[in-house]
Structure 1
Amino acid sequence: MNQCAFTASHFQASQAGMAILRGGGTAIEAMVAAAAAIAVAYPHMNSLGGDGFWLIHEPGKAPVAMNAAGVSAGQATLDWYQQKGYNAIPSRGADAALTVAGTVAGWNAALKLSAQWQPPIGLDGLLHDAIQLAKEGIVVTESLVAASQKTAKEFSGFSAFCERYLPNQKTLVAGEILKNGPLADFLLHLSRVGFDDFYRGESAREIASVLTAQGSPLRLTDLNRYDATWVEPLSVTTTQGTFYNLPLPTQGIASLLILAIFDRLYDESLDEATQLHLLIEATKQAFRVRNAEAQDPQQTSKNIERWLTGAGIEKLASEINLKQAAPWPNPAIPGDTIWMGARDKQGRMVSFIQSIYWEFGSGVVIPELGLLWNNRGVSFSLEAGVTNQLRGGIQPFHTLNPAFAQLNDGRNMVYGTMGGEGQPQTQAALIWRHLYQKKSLATAIAEPRWLLGRTWGDNEHDLKIEADLDPLLQQTLHQQGHQIKNVAACTELMGHAGAITAFAEEVDQVATDPRSDGAALQES
């Protein structure tokens, strides 16, 4: 009995992906269908104008990874911005739209791999649900309302954005219908001519023309030169199995280090408060490594994988005091993202993440295409000589990091979340509760979470804890020196997590986050 499963943070994306799986499509094809659908349904978190990363596993083979993150414009240099009077890259507007959008190139490359597995489903079939959603309209969710209210003032002068996402200069209202006819037409066009058109065809020319006219440093040549790349995933082995994540320029290193450091110091005799303290302290060590070294891999002479060796993990673990919190903060990184997971009937699995960075990205809309552009270039620095210094043609640091694991109990697992700084922490919480505390995936995801640092534009660096976490645990953490701030229970601030576990012949569990509008679907 071989089963398929799909999980996403918006139920219509799950439905789009599951429809493909039911029809015998591959996990990759299902993911492309869902990625297009969620780009329509969750425009504040992702878009065809954003970036993506893939982890793909085929039974009997090592997992493969894909980097579909855009690079900076060729003329996006320190001089270009400094001549315009900037000492930091602006977060919104055309000057923030300085990196190519990579996600569509990732869809294209992944589908080429899928076509090696079995005869492909046409793009018209894969994009059908997304086209219908854009044409007929989506029901505005509370998540979309919150983003609309938060950014309305900031985008009030952006005419194309207002026309599309602030109708009548008013914020969106939960339950209303939001249509995007130009995006429906754009998706239909791509279904007929192919995804490469986004970079080297009529679509590319339209995109470049509008971006240039609005003042972005991006040019047609930047789009023409871009393609997604296959990369070797990072991995680390613990007592629970082997865990995989994305290499630079992502924070995949941090997600793996938290798990490895925790596993190195874990003992089942430790009480729950000490285990939670250990996870938080492991996060601090992992983030120090990430903040010092994570950047475009072509720009570093250091091998960041050295931290995943026994010696590297031991060094970081030795810095942790099991009874006292280490000083904090370090710089934090925000971001808005979606994660989705799929398993097809042949047992192939995909862990995928797609993002426009901050809510609604740069706010730059290409009106004729209904296309919203990312502001991922905010991660670059305009200070000469520092990590992530802006240069033309390179990738900024990314918070995105979809995860995959081969567990010692014979299961494979795809998992991940949105949430910027919170992504590695939520991944660790999920693994801790599911594998060490033996809780179901659904329980592991739903239980109260914590977040060290900021997310969703929050500038505070304290330890945010959902209010319904056991008061005794919170009291112990406070006594250990953690600066705690309570936030609402089951808050979207903590991200939208999801996971699928499966044995060779059947799905074990599939779950999504009650903090999202998602759905976890499974079928024989």
Structure 2
Amino acid sequence: MEDGSSTITRLGATVMTLSAQGRQGLVTAPHMVAAEAGAKALARGANAIEAAIVVSAALSVVYPHMTGLGGDAFWLISDGSMSSVRGLVAAGAAGSAYKTDVFRNRGLTEIPFRGGLSAMTVPGMLRGWETARSFSATHWSGKLSWEELLTPAQELAARGFPLSANQVKTLQQYWDDLTGDKDFCSQYLHQHTLPQTGELFRQPALAHTLSRLIDEGPGSFYEGDLADEMLSCLQAKGSLLQRQDLKNCNAEWVEPLLLPFAGGTLFNLPPPSQGIASLMIAGIMERLGLGNVDPLGAELIHGAVEATRRVFPLRDRVVQDPRQVLAPSWHGLLQEDFLNRQADAIRAGMFGLFPPWQSALGDTTWFAVVDAEGRAASVIQSLYHEFGSGVVAGGSGVLWNNRGCAFSLEPNNPRVLVPGMRPFHTLNPALFGREGHIEMAYGSMGGDGQPQTQAALLFRHLLHGMDPAAAVDAPRWLLGRTWGNPVTALRLESRYGKEVRARLRRWGHSLQVVSAYSDLMGHAGILRALPNGLWIGASDPRSDGGVAGPGSV
């Protein structure tokens, strides 16, 4: 593999924006250790799905503030052809005992973000592993055992790894929210002591659970002794989940959503993912002619923000569990005439008339894998908010998600809590293809920011001609609220100059300037096919990640 790493300087420190290219496959992930684990799997002959499971499990160990075994995942996979793209929804539903009265009878008007009661949806990620591995074996000649797929993660949990600065910063930021669960403190806080960046971090309880999954298969997470032990601990902490809830959890293959863009096609996922929002924003921006503006200028931000303001209220009306509605209502939102009307309305200056939207909070991890055959997996997984519910299921070491707080308790809200239904999900992995072939996997973490960051990557790379590393590194914007910050504002990284800020203020935007490389902007990445048969990848300097291939490990 040829290494194309580049170095940038920010705030007096040297930071690597990793990019690489190779013919035998590549991995981009928000933690370098996970990327290297996936690259080693590719070197052993893994296909893209198998290597993605390795990365998924490794991230669950080394990036526990963003993802874990107790979370959900969404996949897009392709054998390299556009006609083969399919989606996998590995997201669990609300427990059968969870009705709106559960919270109202406790005097609550919203579902709590933390604590046992918020551990209310079944994690779907491991069901996704099972379903993806089965497809890999029957369609892609996959042969790796669960031992081969999960041992890298198990060894990372048992032997330890240097603690990332991102994890330490997150622990410090949400200290007051996370110290109420003794099992959480035991695993992550050294009994109420903040760990230090770079120290060796071990998770023996999680390592033991991964050993059980190797021996028994991921299905034991949902049925059997492990499932019973986790449920017993969760119920003791206030969760209402039941055995049948875990047993009923399944992953589901879905048809992806498609949108023509830049002479090719964008692929994303249908509800309960917000993938439709990502496609709509990109489609409206293209119709506004933003492929012809300065990629670092105010016009791109202005057009993106006005598109976002139009799209998010529509998103809130249609993105829910499709099983909850008789006739899904989102298909017309991607029609050419509808997107044209949205762009025309923005040009006409109507953007100040839009209703507010219900913010999509949360943090996630996106990663992608391409193998030597050009088969690709674009995957995003999450605990929802940082460290999820903050509740560890006893001796299992499994940190449970709090995705259920995306439900509403208002009866007329499209996101109203219904037992057995999946909540609204921000997670939306993406692919781009042209002339019959998949050319790019791309994505980002970051709630409301995911569709906006995806648009920034698409325009800067595909339409403005920036290379992947430059497109990922470039300063970004975010319109919307974030977890822990209730203010809806347009945030800009400080690398945007005074002229850009002044123009945006003249156009009516209320700005907040954040750090030069802010976590609020998400951790993004790109894998891109080159005409010569090579793939090139880029990882976000805002994360602890990197790009790795079989030739680099």
TM-score (norm. length: structure 2):
0.91
Equivalent residue, structure 1, for 2:543: 516
Q: Secondary structure at the match of 1:167?
A: coil
Aligned with 2:112 (options 63, 86, 90):
90
1:7 aligned partner: 28
Distance 1:358 1:133, change over 3 A: same
Q: Is the contact made by 1:335 and 1:457 (CA closer than 8 Å) also made in structure 2?
A: no
The 8 Å contact of residues 325 and 480 in structure 1, kept in 2 or not, is answered as no
What residue is the counterpart of 1:239 in the other structure? 262
Q: Find the counterpart in structure 2 of residue 380 from structure 1.
A: 407
SS state at 1:451 partner: strand
Aligned pair partner of 1:365 in 388, 392, 405: 392
Q: Is the 8 A contact 1:466 1:488 kept in 2?
A: yes
Matched, 1:273 2:301: no
User: Is 1:458 paired with 2:485?
Assistant: yes
* Residues 95-121 of structure 1: CA deviation (Å, up to 9, x unaligned): 100000000100110000111211411
Question: In structure 2, the residue corresponding to 1:169 is in which secondary structure?
Answer: coil
Out of 100, 108, 111, the position equivalent to 2:122 is 100
Match of 1:34 among 55, 61, 65: 55
Return the match for 2:147 from 107, 116, 124: 124
Partners of 1:323 and 1:470 lie apart in 2 by 25
Alpha-carbon distance, 1:408 to partner = 5.4
Name the structure 2 match of 1:314.
340
1:441 is the counterpart of 2:468: yes
1:196 aligns with 2:236: no
Q: Distance in 2 between matches of 1:43 and 1:460?
A: 27
Aligned CA distance change for structure 1 residues 75 and 506 (closer, same or farther; 3 Å): same
Question: Relative to structure 1, is the Cα distance of residues 34 and 322 closer, same or farther in structure 2, using a 3 angstrom cutoff?
Answer: farther
Letter of the structure 2 residue corresponding to residue 391 of structure 1 = V
Which deviations, in whole Å up to 9, do the C-alpha atoms of 1:34-59 show, x marking residues without a partner? 11111010111111000000000113
Amino acid at match of 1:101: P
Deviation at 1:412, TM superposition (A): 1.3
What amino acid is aligned across from residue 385 of structure 1 in structure 2?
Answer: N
1:57 to 48, 56, 78: 78
Residue 298 (structure 1) aligned with residue 320 (structure 2): no
Contact 1:277 1:322 in 2 (8 A): no
Contact 1:324–1:481 under 8 Å retained in 2: no
Amino acid at match of 2:70: G
Task: Measure the CA separation in 2 of the matches of 1:327 and 1:371.
Answer: 45
Contact 2:431/2:438, CA 8 A, preserved across alignment: no
Alignment partners' CA distance in 2, 1:102 and 1:34: 16
Change (3 A) 1:267 1:43: closer
Residue 89 of structure 2 aligns to a residue whose secondary structure is strand
Among 266, 274, 279, the residue aligned to 1:256: 279
- Determine helix, strand or coil for the equivalent of 2:46: coil
TM-score, normalization by structure 1: 0.96
Equivalent of residue 201 in structure 2, options 178, 203, 207: 178
Deviations 1:354-379 (A, max 9, x none): 10011110011112111100000000
Shift of 1:145: 1.1
Q: How many residues align?
A: 524
Partner of 1:67: 89
Aligned letter for 1:94? G
Residue aligning to 1:143: 166
Q: Distance in 1 between matches of 2:176 and 2:540?
A: 30
Structure 1 position 154, deviation (Å): 1.7
Distance 1:153 1:318, change over 3 A: same
Distance in 2 separating the partners of 1:247 and 1:20: 30
State the Cα distance separating 1:406 from its structure 2 match: 0.2
Q: CA deviation at 1:230?
A: 0.5
Cα 1:71–1:476 change in 2 (3 A) is: same
Q: Deviations over 1:39-82 (max 9, x none)?
A: 01011111100000000011333200000011000010012222
| Counterpart AA for 2:281 | I
Report SS of the residue matched to 1:461: strand
Write out aligned runs for 1:373-452 (5 A): 373-407=400-434, 412-452=439-479
How far did residue 173 of structure 1 move? 1.8
Distance 1:458 1:83 in 2: 28
CA contact (8 A) 2:313 2:358 kept: no
Structure 1 residue identity aligned to 2:298: A
Task: Give the match for residue 21 of structure 1.
Answer: 42
**Share of identical aligned residues, percent?**
40
| Cα contact 1:405–1:414 (8 A) shared by 2 | yes
Query: How far apart, in 2, do the equivalents of 1:327 and 1:10 lie?
Result: 41
Whole-Å separation in 1 of the counterparts to 2:371 and 2:74: 19
Change (3 A) 1:508 1:409: farther
